[in-house]
A and B are shown apart, each in its own frame.
Chain A
Amino acid sequence: MELPVIATTLPEAERYHFDEALGRHGLSLAPISIDTLQVNVGKLCNQACLHCHVDASPKRTEMMDRRTAEQVIAVLEAHPAVTTLDLTGGAPELNTNFDWLVVEARRLNKHVMVRHNLTVQFDGNPQTGESKEYLPEFFARHGVEVVSSLPYYTEYFTDKQRGRGVFNKSIEAIRRLNEVGYGNPETGLVLNLVYNPVGAFLPAAQEALEADFKRMLWNSSSLVFNKLYTIINMPIHRFKESLVRHGGYEEYMNKLVTAFNPGAADGVMCRSMISVDYDGRLSDCDFNQMLDIPVEEGTPRSIFEWDFDGLMARRIVFKDHCFGCTAGAGSSCGGTTA
């Protein structure tokens, strides 16, 4: 049994080498499938959160164009094995092709998920002023699965991470989603919430935290949702800069490395998905994409050169940040992996 709160130090040579950690545990994480195309349609966001691995903000201009969006749909149409379109950003709804992507993917009977930050319903497009108040009804009409970040069930942690006023707006946005049927098991409209720690620590147990969120959101605001996913803050970009600034990067990495869990590693999301950036470039996951790490050399690296079999034969590219997906109970866009 390991101590829950006391980490041991590792020799320098054993730190941060993910491939070596896999080797020590006899793991070889090859692709299992490509059932999900996770498409990052742009970095524009109405928020600028402390932990954001995309460095998204109201000032970003990167945006997937229509030609690339059409190629995404063409790939989905050509490959029945790719059953899910997972739209992320930034706030993906701020891409001018977002609605079209949803409608076309649903026309192909694909499962569509959107990483919806809730507040965009009220803030709209920070650059054009376009309203996004129609989103709950639009999501419901097209049967989109909504996945939304809510760092905690109280104001303090939520606003600390995502900005002042975000908690109250998020509560109102969940209420609007509930009003059109989201979170009610009888409607089939799925609203899943995402918890990530507000700081350099690991999440609590997913099941226990989900029970807390359900009880507290119901008691305080009569709100419902389906599942809570706990995820680990990835030590890259804005969060890494914050750790380095406060002198906590080494400590956080040691925590992740010490908590390496072979069972969690086996279920990492990169084994069953491909990440597509706003320009159509392919990566093993959204984190690699943000670090400009494409899929393995020799593999088609653009959605315009899509080759299902070639991608299935690739070697997944792992770096030190991958310890963020394998610590404790693991972490993925769908919560724990162990």
Chain B
Amino acid sequence: MANYYESADLARFAEVGTHNKALIDKFFEYYNMATGTDGALSKREKQLIGLAVAHTIQCPYCIDAYTTGCLESGADPAQMTEAIHVVGAVRGGASIVHGVQFLNVLERLGA
């Protein structure tokens, strides 16, 4: 195995069901319902959320799939860029809000 990640492996996703087809079939059914259809959120909104999450979990398969998914649901690069800035902001906020904890420690130490 030359590399842990190969882009061609994305298309082999279904092979994960080789030793338990029922589980992967259930997963795909759920996955498609959750991400691939219009509902209370449009399919495009779901794809943009997927793209944003893909960046925050840093999954190259997901970034590949959801970039295409965003385009195929009518999104443009400006919308996709804003989506990843949302997760960037949330992640950054999650770090910075913990600054309250360091302030608490400072107070406890009388510093």
Chain A residues close to B by CB (< 8 Å):
1-9, 152, 154, 156-157, 197, 199, 201-205, 208-209, 212, 254
Contact = CB atoms under 8 A, between A and B. Distances in A.
Given A154-B78, A204-B72, A208-B42, A5 B29 contact: no
A69 to B, nearest CB: 39
Contacts of A156: 76-78
A203 B35 CA distance: 17
Q: Which interface class (under 10, 10 to 19, 20 to 34, 35 or more) fits B?
A: 20 to 34
16 contacts: A1-B29, A3-B13, A4-B32, A4-B35, A4-B69, A152-B76, A154-B76, A156-B78, A197-B71, A201-B68, A201-B72, A204-B73, A205-B73, A208-B38, A209-B74, A254-B11
A194 B72 CA distance: 15
Nearest to A250: B8
A204 B32 contact: no
Contacts of A254: 11
A164 to B, nearest CB: 17
B7 to A, nearest CB: 9
A1 B14 CA distance: 14
A212 B76 contact: no
Contacts of B5: none
Contacts of A203: 72
B87 interface: no
Interface of B: 10-14, 28-29, 31-33, 35-36, 38, 42-44, 65-66, 68-69, 71-74, 76-78
Nearest to A1: B32
B14 A8 contact: yes
Contacts of A3: 13, 28, 31-32, 36
Contacts of B33: 1
Given A154-B78, A156-B77, A156-B78, A5 B42 contact: no
A26 B21 CA distance: 29
B32 A2 contact: yes
Given A3-B36, A4-B32, A8-B14, 10 more contacts: A4-B69, A8-B11, A156-B76, A197-B72, A201-B71, A204-B72, A205-B74, A208-B38, A208-B74, A254-B11
Contacts of B73: 204-205, 208
A7 B71 contact: no
Nearest to B71: A201
B6 to A, nearest CB: 13
Given A156-B77, A208-B42, A6 B13 contact: yes
B41 to A, nearest CB: 13
A6 B11 contact: yes
B71 A199 contact: yes
A9 B36 CA distance: 20
Nearest to A7: B11
